[in-house]
Amino acid sequence: ADMFSGAIFIQEALGLNIYVAVIALLAITALYTVTGGLAAVIYTDTLQTIIMIIGSFILMGFAFNEVGGYANFETLYMAAIPTNTSNISAECYEPRKDTFHLFRDPITGDLPWPGMVFGLTIQATWYWCTDQVIVQRCLSGKSLSHVKAGCILCGYLKLLPMFLMVFPGMISRILYPDVVACVVPEECMKHCGASVGCTNIAYPKLVLDLMPNGLRGLMLSVMMASLMSSLTSIFNSASTLFTMDIYTKVRPCAKERELMIAGRIIQDDYRVYLRNRELCQPK
């Protein structure tokens, strides 16, 4: 998903072939992950987080300014319907009546509230408390106090995606209903090359059409930073799991240098595996 999202953005912004974009994204990410290890991942993540937040706030401001503020946003979104709907059912292209409700009907809702409350809670607990990507960062903390402070900061940062990602994506539908909300397969193929819909390009299109040249470059950096941050975490965690849980069982007397080399090799192998898997996915 991370590679595909990054490739889509590169394709929209630079006009590169999606396969070339995937390979370039993986190569750059693997380069500084393999050479720098966890320290490089943590330092780049910190810098990228700052860039992401600043850039996303700027884009959110441009987006809300374009629709005249939040009051108009709700009204305009409910009226954002593509021009060409052919004979397709209205349920496929009209915004849901409960769009602006977090707690939706347990029977008819697309995200029933019991699933959101209980299902997402279990999922979030798994990710934030047991996933290797998060645990590894906590174990690398300078002290327990630093780890606790980092976790609290992450909790506050998780409040931002609704405003920095979801709302701008919805505004993209308002501004470009025939593209972002297309439902006719032929129309979608014409706009984004996918017959199932063009919601994937909602955020990139907003960036490319609303932002001036300088800020557009900043937002390109923001998107790349976000995607590369996820990939570096996966690469580093995969190499750690292999090295410490498998390689040390095969070579119990391996020295630290040997373990480091093994970890870096597995990172590169994993990158190649991900690249091949992505390139083999049907589009």
What pTM does this model have?
0.75
pLDDT tens by residue, 96-110: 889 998 899 998 888
Residue 186: CB atoms within 10 Å: 10
Mean pLDDT of 63-72: 92
Q: What is the pLDDT of residue 5?
A: 65
Q: What is the pLDDT of residue 247?
A: 76
Backbone angles phi, psi at 98, to 5 degrees: -100, 25
Q: How confident is the model at residue 210 (pLDDT cuts 50, 70, 90)?
A: confident
Share of the chain above pLDDT 70, in %: 82
Q: How confident is the model at residue 68 (pLDDT cuts 50, 70, 90)?
A: very high
Q: Comparing 225 with 27, which gets the higher pLDDT?
A: 27
Paired residues of 112 in beta bridges:
104
Residues with Cβ within 8 Å of 59's Cβ and at least 6 positions away in sequence, in order, are 164, 168, 206, 207, 210, 211, 219
Share of the chain above pLDDT 90, in %: 20
Residue 92 has pLDDT above 60, yes or no: yes
DSSP letters for the chain: -HHHHHHHHHHHHH---HHHHHHHHHHHHHHHHHHHHHHHHHHHHHHHHHHHHHHHHHHHHHHHHHHTSHHHHHHHHHT---S--TT--GGGTSPPTTTT-SSB-TTT-SSBHHIIIIIHHHHHHHHHHH-HHHHHHHHTSSSHHHHHHHHHHHHHHTTSHIIIIIHHHHHHHHH-HHHHT--SHHHHHHHHS-TT--GGGHHHHHHHHHS-HHHHHHHHHHHHHHHHHHHHHHHHHHHHHHIIIIIHHH-TT--HHHHHHHHHHHHHHHHHHHHHHHHTS--
Closest CA to 84 of 168, 189, 208: 189
Q: Are 106 and 119 in contact (CB under 8 A)?
A: no
Q: Comparing 45 with 203, which gets the higher pLDDT?
A: 203
Q: How far apart are CA 14 and CA 165, in angstroms?
A: 21
Structure tokens at 177: 């209903």
Q: How confident is the model at residue 178 (pLDDT cuts 50, 70, 90)?
A: very high
pLDDT tens by residue, 133-176: 788 778 878 899 999 998 899 889 989 999 998 999 999 999 99
Residues in the chain: 283
Q: What is the pLDDT of residue 167?
A: 94
Q: How confident is the model at residue 271 (pLDDT cuts 50, 70, 90)?
A: low
Mean pLDDT of 36-42: 70
In Å, what is the CA distance from 184 to each residue of 82, 95, 220?
Answer: 9, 16, 29
Long-range CB pairs of 185-194, under 8 A, 24+ apart, other chains included? 187/82, 187/84, 193/283, 194/283
Q: What is the pLDDT of residue 113?
A: 92
CATH for 1-266 (1.10.1060.10, 1.20.1730.10, 3.40.50.720, 3.40.50.620): 1.20.1730.10
Phi-psi region of 79 (alpha: psi -120 to 50; beta: other; left: phi over 0): alpha
Mean pLDDT of 185-209: 86
Residue 283 has pLDDT above 70, yes or no: no
Q: Comparing 262 with 98, which gets the higher pLDDT?
A: 98
Mean pLDDT of 210-226: 76
Q: What is the pLDDT of residue 38?
A: 67
Mean pLDDT of 206-228: 77
Q: Comparing 47 with 112, which gets the higher pLDDT?
A: 112
Q: What is the pLDDT of residue 60?
A: 92
